[in-house]
Amino acid sequence: MPLISVIIPVYNGENTIRETIESVLNQTFKDFELIVINDGSTDSTLDVVSNIQDSRLKVFSYPNAKQAASRNRGLSQATGEYVSFIDADDLWKPDKLEAQLKALQENPEAGVAYSWTDLIDESGNFIRGGANIYWQGESYARMLLNDFVESGSNPLIRAQAIKEVGNFDESLPPAEDWDMWIRLASRYPFVVVPSAQVLYRVRANSSSTNVSKMEAVSLRIIERAYAEAPASIQHLKRHTLGNRYKYLVFKALEEPPVRQKALTAIRFLWQAFIYDPVLLRRRIIWKVLLRIAIIVLLPSKLAQTWLNKFKQFTDILTLVILIRVDIVPAQR
């Protein structure tokens, strides 16, 4: 029986699935099974996968049911003591599994090991690094404040821990990852591998670009999580909401520029001010407002040209850096 089960949900991933699978098969750690869940693909995904010869590769096909359901279907087939997921367009560095497994074996009380993430574009070119948050140990409050794991392609998880907290909630895309990490953090410590081992591909049509849906689902997750959280951390709720709205502003204004999303960003920014009034005094707000103005007032192609030309004045990455993951003492 393999020590690790790796699960790849894929829907119409013919352009990237081979590279993703190869990044798993080329891991320095070899004792794993690779479970590909074909989620009703209508392109040549199955043909691409069938041409990859490796005894560790197992393929299961189902009617289309979206990513969370596909991950749960993968869990039903998994036999490993540890489980990891990778989306069909993301990549792993070769030592990802080895380093995370070592971290969990050296910290037997931990249920989850996570690494740092780099963002790449659709062609595989580096865009920027992730948040690179270093945190180990009890992680419940910090995970409530912000999803510092950053993607579903990141963690290695003890299978027993998932059995205890339950499967992915299929009603919560595109934020079902955060919900799962919150539930895991409520019971298990986390351990970090401080190295960028996950390459997250930013795609214009990914589910995470539907910012209005992400807002609605995020609010559901926050309400449910704080309904179950102890009284000692209830004071963090407004910080969680402030953090989430900062993140939503950033997501709404990511490239390519879309006028409707920029208009939505105005509402998100107002909510961020409500929950974090200090944000009004930050210089980054002027960059955010300028970026919104360019996207709203100019045609898409011209807006992109201006954003590139005046990048120094429209780069809003600092907004993500302002997301708080420190523990704020309760007010007396």
Closest CA to 244 of 263, 220, 278, 280: 220
Average pLDDT along the chain: 94
Task: With a cut of 50, say whether residue 332 has pLDDT above it.
Answer: no
Instruction: Report pTM.
Output: 0.93
> For 308-326, what is each residue's pLDDT tens digit?
999 999 999 988 888 877 6
> For 272-295, what is each residue's pLDDT tens digit?
999 999 999 999 999 999 999 999
Q: What is the mean pLDDT of residues 81-95?
A: 98
pLDDT of residue 206: 59
> For 153-168, what is each residue's pLDDT tens digit?
999 999 999 999 999 9
pLDDT of residue 322: 82
